[in-house]
Amino acid sequence: AIFRKDREMKILCVLYDDPTDGMPNSYALNSLPHIEKYADGMSLPSPKSIDFNPGELLGCVSGELGLRKFLEDGGHTLVVTSNKDGDNSEADREIVDADIVISQPFWPYYLTREKMETAKNLKMAITAGIGSDHVDLQAAMDHNIDVVEVTFCNSISVSEHIVMMILSMVRDYHTQHAIAKSGGWNIADAVKRSYDVEGMQIGTVAAGRIGLAALRRLKPFEVGLHYFDRHRLAPEVEKELNLTFHETVESMVEVCDVVTINCPLHPETENLFDTEMISKMKKGAYIINTARGKICNREAIEEGLKTGQLSGYAGDVWFPQPAPNDHIWRTMPNHGMTPHTSGTSLSAQARYAAGTREILECFFDGTPIRDEYLIVQNGALAGTGAHSYSKGSATSGSEEASQYKK
């Protein structure tokens, strides 16, 4: 994308709401553990400096991703809002003359083709996180708008959430916790759906940064590990983790007790888990989906849980987001859903705020943005986008997000 370095820019940042009782005065931990580098050797975000305290809330409106001082010192304008859905939202009004838009997958500003066409100055959409399916990537390619994300910033955060959800669903933690909280002690009620994970077959759809990290973390549980991906892992990794590679999703789901979904959402993966795919799964299997809501068919999941074809479904991703208050995944049986949180722990926020700053510094300085951060550049899929996405768009239906009422 073309930009003039001498011009002041307008940056629109769409973030989730502050805590209902205001920003915290103190935090549970005084500091975050130091992390040297990511598992594959990639370095952590490396902006020239930061203006926030790692470990504080940065992803909500008042947190501003820690960007205000940096942007205003540079003469730029920063507009931060959580108002993004429905007709005439604040984000829609502000985007018309914005140069850069920043949004997070947890509270995605759905950048449809229509909205992009109102934004004549738009040069770049930054995902403060991972997963840029909330941007119509095809429209971004057509309009020469670059799309970048902070690759690896929360991949480990999500892999931890996956392990938590597999254990909590198979062992039926939610039921037991509810009994403890409500003053009860019926052990038979508490364990009538509770199993051990040991000995189970667990498979991941995609073994990228998250999928592979989840496999590594699951290995000590003495389970059989399986994966399907369009890119095969190195033979030494397959050997180290004793992995079974499957040529198709179908062949994997047939033999797995637990399936975890870790591919991006793009036209090839949208609606992948429909009634037909679920019918090919082992009866009573569990699905853990922390990738994207739209990869699973809403009604097919509910139906699978109701018939017992699925024993449980957990994840933190919905479509659209925020999910309407009456979204059936909020009330279906045997679910362990959270709102979209796995990639926005305070630990993850510190990394993606720093990564966003690094991207902006590169943009203003005219220096290259890391290849790993690129999804779309100069009208084509690039970097991680070329590796992990396919052409097309997955934003249709996102208007439904306006049905959510606080």
Is residue 269 within the footprint of ligand NAD (CB under 6 A)?
yes
Specify whether the CB–CB gap between 147 and 135 falls below 8 A: yes
User: Which residues lie across from 202 on neighbouring strands?
Assistant: 225, 258
- The residue within the footprint of ligand NAD, chosen from 231, 235, 236, 326 (CB under 6 A), is 231
CB-based burial label for 341 (10 Å; 0-12, 13-18, 19+)? middle
CA distances, 289 to each of 13, 251, 326, 358, 396 (Å): 27, 19, 20, 30, 20
| Stretch near ligand NAD under the rule CB under 6 A, chosen from 81-89, 126-134, 218-226, 275-283 | 126-134
Minimal CA–CA distance to 16: which of 57, 76, 73? 57
Cβ at position 307, least distance to ligand NAD in Å? 27
Complex with ligand NAD: residue 54 or 267, whichever CB lies closer: 267
- The residue within the footprint of ligand NAD, chosen from 47, 59, 108, 131 (CB under 6 A), is 131
- The residue within the footprint of ligand NAD, chosen from 47, 203, 312, 343 (CB under 6 A), is 343
| Stretch near ligand NAD under the rule CB under 6 A, chosen from 56-64, 94-102, 204-212, 304-312 | 204-212
Is residue 262 within the footprint of ligand NAD (CB under 6 A)?
yes
Specify whether the CB–CB gap between 338 and 26 falls below 8 A: no
Is residue 159 within the footprint of ligand NAD (CB under 6 A)?
no
Complex with ligand NAD: residue 10 or 226, whichever CB lies closer: 226
Residue 176 known to be catalytic: no
Q: Say which of 138, 154, 334, 349 is annotated catalytic.
A: 154
Neighbouring residues of 234: CB distance < 8 A, sequence distance ≥ 6: none
Is residue 209 within the footprint of ligand NAD (CB under 6 A)?
yes
Cβ at position 207, least distance to ligand NAD in Å? 6
Residue 230 known to be catalytic: no
Complex with ligand NAD: residue 34 or 231, whichever CB lies closer: 231
Is residue 398 within the footprint of ligand NAD (CB under 6 A)?
no
The shares of helix, strand and coil residues in the chain, as percent rounded to the nearest 5, are 35, 15, 50
Is residue 388 within the footprint of ligand NAD (CB under 6 A)?
yes
Is residue 264 within the footprint of ligand NAD (CB under 6 A)?
yes
268 phi, psi to nearest 5 deg: -75, -25
- The residue within the footprint of ligand NAD, chosen from 138, 176, 345, 384 (CB under 6 A), is 384
| Stretch near ligand NAD under the rule CB under 6 A, chosen from 61-69, 136-144, 225-233, 319-327 | 225-233
Helix (H, G, I), strand (E, B) or coil at 66: helix
Count the neighbouring beta carbons within 10 Å of the beta carbon of residue 172: 19
**Site size for ligand NAD (CB under 6 A):** 32
Complex with ligand NAD: residue 263 or 305, whichever CB lies closer: 263
- For ligand NAD, the binding residues in 286-315 under the rule CB under 6 A are 290-292
Residue 154 known to be catalytic: yes
Instruction: Return left, alpha or beta for 351; rule: phi > 0 is left, psi -120 to 50 is alpha, else beta.
Output: alpha
Q: Say which of 246, 266, 327, 340 is annotated catalytic.
A: 340
| Chain position whose Cβ is nearest to ligand NAD | 208
Give the sheet arrangement for strand 201-205, strand by strand.
243-245, 224-228, 201-205, 258-261, 285-289, 310-315
Cβ at position 249, least distance to ligand NAD in Å? 7
Is residue 229 within the footprint of ligand NAD (CB under 6 A)?
yes
Is residue 265 within the footprint of ligand NAD (CB under 6 A)?
yes
Neighbouring residues of 197: CB distance < 8 A, sequence distance ≥ 6: 166, 167, 170, 171, 221, 223, 258
CB-based burial label for 242 (10 Å; 0-12, 13-18, 19+)? exposed
- The residue within the footprint of ligand NAD, chosen from 64, 146, 316, 358 (CB under 6 A), is 316
Neighbouring residues of 186: CB distance < 8 A, sequence distance ≥ 6: 179
| Stretch near ligand NAD under the rule CB under 6 A, chosen from 85-93, 114-122, 127-135, 302-310 | 127-135
Question: Strand 224-228 to strand 146-149: parallel, antiparallel, or no bridges (unpaired)?
Answer: unpaired
Q: Per the structure block, which two tokens stand in for 80? A: 């931060």
Task: State the residue for tokens 């994207």.
Answer: 292
Residue 201 known to be catalytic: no
Known catalytic residues? 154, 292, 321, 340
Binding site for ligand NAD (CB under 6 A): 129-131, 154-155, 158, 206-211, 228-231, 262-265, 268-269, 290-292, 316-317, 340, 342-343, 384, 388
